[in-house]
Amino acid sequence: MAIRVLPSQIIEMLASRRHRLRHFLWHAVRSAWNNPQLTDEVKAFIRDKGWGPPNDRVPLDAKRKLILDNHSGEDFLYMHRQMIKEVSELLDQLEEQSLTFWRSIPKPGGHPDFALPPAWSYDDPSESAATNAAMTARLQRVKSDAYFRDTIVTWEAFYTNPANLAQLSLGALGNLLEMTIHNNLHMRWASVPIGYMPSPNFDDTRDIDPKWDATSYDYLGDTNSSHVNPIFWYLHGWVDSRIDRWAAANRVSEIACIGTWTGKLEEGWTHGAPEALTASVRREAMGGHAHGHAGHEQDGEDIREMEAIVRKLGSCKVIRNFYDVLRDPK
Ligand SMILES: [Cu+2]
């Protein structure tokens, strides 16, 4: 069995600027929301554009400590479950084989499809030599066999054991999963990026270069591109199946989430339908115009507004991404 590559229509949908920005902003707004550097003016702008998290429900407090009792971890699990549902429905529609998930995290030297891409060295001129060296060392560590043996195996066992799951609310589980094993798995399976968009120092006036919309930009370390990468779906399938294990451990037959935030919904959709994420992209991808429409797909008021929010976040320097697990905690 080779690694599952999604049909081109679905890849194009996932790689569209609209879908990229939705995933990027959903993560970026949550991560930045309580950051003291995010100004009230920018928060008001984000709210005004329909991208404010309901009840300010986000995973981190102003000191970047995890909040485990506000249901924001449910948002994390719910939103990604919607993404999985959306892709699954499209695969059905195309009469293609369904998504396959990791039942357990692939071992070093295990299945060749999941062999780790090698680490790379950081040489970012805007960072000090010490920071570059520290990030390089951390990346090597996350990709090492020892990291699997000492850290991943421990986390995986913890998040699988019903006795532990029975002691956690679903929201606590979601936030813990996201900030521990999930972020690090993204970096463990990441390949050397061609760069990433937008940088934390994204300047206020520049447009987003169309090169970041290419289907080849599928860097797992950036929320703008990670979901274009086939590994994303294996990894998130593993995360998603923790929901059902949690429900079984807690004898919950129907999960009632309070955290169901998926970002600003598309016109005319209410939450709960995966189409609410990307109805218009889906129409284009599946409507038989799968080729050569990159230009017109990039039009649209919603895209302009999302880009404007990205710039505002960038101007406050509050954008964090998966690769930030390699930085010094700030
Ligand atoms: Cu995500």
11-29: pLDDT as tens digits:
999 999 989 999 999 999 9
**Angle at the Cα of 323 (from 244 to 207), degrees rounded to 5?**
110
Cα 232 to ligand 1 centroid, rounded to whole Å: 9
Asked if residue 3 belongs to a domain, the reply is no
Closest CA to 20 of 83, 81, 78: 83
Asked if residue 65 belongs to a domain, the reply is yes
Cα 233 to ligand 1 centroid, rounded to whole Å: 10
Cα 129 to ligand 1 centroid, rounded to whole Å: 30
Judge whether 23 and 223 are in contact, CB under 8 Å.
yes
Asked if residue 2 belongs to a domain, the reply is no
Asked if residue 226 belongs to a domain, the reply is yes
Cα 22 to ligand 1 centroid, rounded to whole Å: 10
Asked if residue 1 belongs to a domain, the reply is no
Element (H, E) at 78: helix 72-93
Separation of first and last alpha carbons in the chain? 42
Asked if residue 247 belongs to a domain, the reply is yes
293 pLDDT above the threshold of 50: no
Cα 58 to ligand 1 centroid, rounded to whole Å: 14
Cα 191 to ligand 1 centroid, rounded to whole Å: 17
Mean pLDDT of 137-147: 96
Cα 324 to ligand 1 centroid, rounded to whole Å: 15
Phi, psi of 60 (to 5 degrees): -120, 145
Q: CB neighbours (10 Å) of residue 95?
A: 6
Residue 66's SS3 state is strand
Asked if residue 16 belongs to a domain, the reply is yes
Mean pLDDT of 183-187: 96
Cα 125 to ligand 1 centroid, rounded to whole Å: 28
Phi, psi of 66 (to 5 degrees): -65, 135
Which of 96-100, 228-232, 277-281, 291-295 bottoms out in mean pLDDT, i.e. has the lowest?
Answer: 291-295
Cα 300 to ligand 1 centroid, rounded to whole Å: 23
92 pLDDT above the threshold of 80: yes
Asked if residue 161 belongs to a domain, the reply is yes
Phi, psi of 9 (to 5 degrees): -60, -40
Cα 32 to ligand 1 centroid, rounded to whole Å: 15
Q: How many domains does the chain have?
A: 1
Alpha helices in 16-71 (DSSP H): 17-32, 40-48
Structure tokens at 307: 């880009």
Share of the chain above pLDDT 70, in %: 85
Question: 23 is in which domain, residue-wise?
Answer: 8-326
pLDDT in tens, 98-130: 999 999 999 999 999 999 999 999 888 878 999
Closest CA to 188 of 223, 243, 232: 232
CA 186/CA 22 separation, integer angstroms: 18
